[in-house]
Amino acid sequence: MKTHNLYCGTSPLLISVPHAGTFVPPDIKRRLSTPAIKLPDTDWHQEKIYYDMHEALGASLLTATHSRYVVDLNRSPEDEDLYPGQVKTGLVPLETFAGEKIYLRGEEPDAIEHSNRVTAYWYPYHDALAAELARIKAEFGFALLYDGHSICSAVPRLFDGTLQDLNIGTARGDSCAPDLAACFYDALQDQGYSSVLNGRFVGGFITRNYGNPAEGVHAIQMELTWKNYMQKETAPYHYDTEKGDALGSVLQNALAELIRFAGERFARPELSLHRD
């Protein structure tokens, strides 16, 4: 059973795309509610945005095949709360971001099914992610992890108001060396998109768990808003090629600058891999 696709690159960058999958196994799909069948909380078209980019950058690319409604790859296997005090979107979610039930009445997964899904779908993705980061670090002495996500620009149940176009997270500075984060953030300025660093989204489990600057692994999460690459932020979630190409070019240039800066930063033996 294929749970992910991994394309190994030639640079120190790994692009992870854990929420773009749309496959739901038949035994789960038949139990979904009418709103959930449309998979509204998918990170639509992320694999399209990053595929050509990963080739141009020589980056590795890891993409999930299954929907986050099967299991959320950006949550801990213990289902710990990422944002205490706010609405929780769990490891095996039961409600959409809008608060609608994902399952028909009486069809919700039980504890055994939760555990089985984690074993079948969560661990294979994370095993591949950890192994690829280890390979990159062994080759380059450090690794860059970019975790790509997207969301509707307004989700009242999850946050007030409207999100910035580009929402960058480094676990409030813990998952990436500050100068690397600043390099990436600065490269995105004055490009026609609003941006914020460690705003509403500071990074999920992947960013927080794998980012470890002291050990030479630097992780950044990006949450894009749909309006900047889709025709509408509603079903059927059609991709807008002109918007997508423009956004992809900006992101690619910023990631290229990150790779360049990191290479110079860590190629100098007098500089520590520890954060300043």
Instruction: Give the pLDDT score at 266.
Output: 84
Q: Can you tell me the mean pLDDT for 244-271?
A: 88
- The structure's pTM equals 0.94
Instruction: Give the pLDDT score at 83.
Output: 73
Instruction: Give the pLDDT score at 135.
Output: 97
pLDDT digits (tens, 9 = 90+) for 218-233: 999 999 999 999 999 9
Share of the chain above pLDDT 70, in %: 95
Confidence of residue 89 (pLDDT cuts 50, 70, 90): confident
pLDDT of 271 over the 70 cut: no
CATH for the stretch 4-267: 3.40.630.40
Q: Can you tell me the mean pLDDT for 107-121?
A: 97
Instruction: Give the pLDDT score at 169.
Output: 98
Instruction: Give the pLDDT score at 268.
Output: 43
For the chain, the domains span 4-267
Q: 219: which DSSP letter?
A: E
Q: Can you tell me the mean pLDDT for 49-55?
A: 95
Helix or strand (DSSP H, E) at 176: none
pLDDT digits (tens, 9 = 90+) for 153-199: 999 999 999 999 999 999 999 999 999 999 999 999 999 999 999 99
Q: What is d(CA 44, CA 226) in angstroms, rounded to the nearest whole number?
A: 8
User: Which CB contacts under 8 angstroms, 24+ apart, belong to 21-24?
Assistant: 21/63, 21/64, 21/65, 21/66, 21/67, 21/68, 21/70, 22/67, 23/65, 23/66, 23/67, 23/70, 24/66, 24/67, 24/69, 24/70
pLDDT of 62 over the 90 cut: yes
Q: Can you tell me the mean pLDDT for 246-275?
A: 80
Confidence of residue 272 (pLDDT cuts 50, 70, 90): very low
Instruction: Give the pLDDT score at 86.
Output: 72
